[in-house]
Homo-oligomer: A and B are copies of this chain.
Amino acid sequence: MTPALAQTSAGKAPAPPSYRHLPANADTVRWGCFSTTLTPRVEIDSAGIVTIETLPHPAADDLERMVQGDEGAESVYLWTTDRKGVDRRGAGSTDPAVCKVGSADGRGVHILTGPVHGWGAKPGDVLELRILDCVPRPGANPDFAGKSFGSNAASWWGCHYNDMPGGAKREVITIYRVDATGDKSRAKAVCNFRWGPQTDPFRVTRPTIDYPGGPIDHALTDFTFNVLKGIRIPIRPHFGTLGVAPAEADFVDSVPPSHTRGNVDKWPIGKGAIMYSPVSVEGALVSVGDPHASQGDSELCGTAIECSLAGTFQSILHKKADLAGTPLQEMDRPMLETRVEWVVHGFSGPNHLGALGATAQADIYGKPSVDDAMRDAFAKMRRFLMTTKGLTEDDAHSPMSVGVDFGITPVADGNWGVHAIVPCHRAMPS
């Protein structure tokens, strides 16, 4: 500790920030939705730090490597003929005829930890959430000490699915090994297998992947080892889903991202990143999940390397009354800041919950478009440049063309995304 930090003007050491730890288990997670109706799992004061554990939704693809020995994960993935560890509100059938219109029933898939209530947040404030750390959680099975594992599905909701050479559609799951000691920054494939119809413990048979949490029947599945030889994937631990609860509906499907962030699936949302979100409800109700060891921009085939992570968060709250005249004054959308760039997110439906009415949560799946997301991203970046740099709209167009990069965020989440990147150490500061 430096002398400057060791003493206050009164000669007393300042109180350290409070610290809380939120494990991932059947009492702290739920499946597939943000909701204002949930009881907060932890309360954080204005300067508090919290470590949150997260679990990947497809861990049952390899219970031996991804669940076994981890008491919290075992409590979540428990599923026998007469009992499920966690009731799965948001992970039922994806058939629109079965889903309850206007709710998240049957659609969301992610395991989300939380919600966290705190920071004195009120609707209209802006929550600046800093990710102090983000690391793979080692598995608890002693057979794989020091390793973490993740699952990737090339699935029916992937962008590739309707463009298979030869036309035969199938889903393939790949299990990856991830070093959890921090020494190596590569993931390697362990094996893969083709999804065949799987019958869950409640005796429901599922021809395609539509309901995470069901264990793979090893007797009916052919595993291929020694796959993806010579290919190492650089790991980029990050949270695919991280957001505050939207006020627009009681239960909000976790899959499509929106103005309160949620499932943005952007790989820089890891250690060192800062997430800005408009607060929609009292206490913000932050939830975290969909942990990824790595993904590429687009998450093309439907999922990332879905792998358990632990994240440590601190927040700075920007009160509504103090926003005028600051770059946050029009923060009605999520924004990401890293050490070297600002990232503004555009979507096919910028606020589908608000714009599409009672059937928004079903309708958004019918409007996937990179073109629409591109238009939203550039309109938001234009406003960002106008607000933060005091530019006219005409002045803002030129820097967007010559100094802002546009990339593709998710094309697998119903609400497709394009992000606009402006280098904050280069183009922006005076």
Given the known interface contacts A165-B393, A230-B389, the answer about A297 and B405 at a Cβ–Cβ threshold of 8 Å is yes
Instruction: Tell me the number of copies of this protein.
Output: 2
Name the B residues within 8 Å of A402 (CB-CB): 152, 176, 187, 233, 294-296, 304-305
**Contact at B395–A228, with CB atoms within 8 Å?**
yes
**CB < 8 Å neighbour of A407 from B174, B397, B408:** B408
**CB < 8 Å neighbour of A378 from B163, B228, B399, B401:** B163
A399 to B176, CA, bound (A): 11
A269 adjacent to chain B (CB < 8 Å): no
A73 adjacent to chain B (CB < 8 Å): no
- Give chain B nearest CB distance to A182 CB in angstroms: 17
A21 adjacent to chain B (CB < 8 Å): no
**Contact at A397–B154, with CB atoms within 8 Å?**
yes
Name the B residues within 8 Å of A227 (CB-CB): 395
A407 to B407, CA, bound (A): 4
Name the B residues within 8 Å of A95 (CB-CB): none
**CB < 8 Å neighbour of A403 from B192, B296, B389, B427:** B296
Name the B residues within 8 Å of A159 (CB-CB): 374-375, 378
The size class of the interface chain A forms with chain B is 35 or more
A428 to B379, CA, bound (A): 36
A400 adjacent to chain B (CB < 8 Å): yes
A408 to B398, CA, bound (A): 17
**Contact at A397–B158, with CB atoms within 8 Å?**
yes
Name the B residues within 8 Å of A187 (CB-CB): 402
A172 to B394, CA, bound (A): 7
**CB < 8 Å neighbour of A296 from B160, B370, B374, B405:** B405
**Contact at B229–A430, with CB atoms within 8 Å?**
yes
A371 adjacent to chain B (CB < 8 Å): yes
A78 adjacent to chain B (CB < 8 Å): no
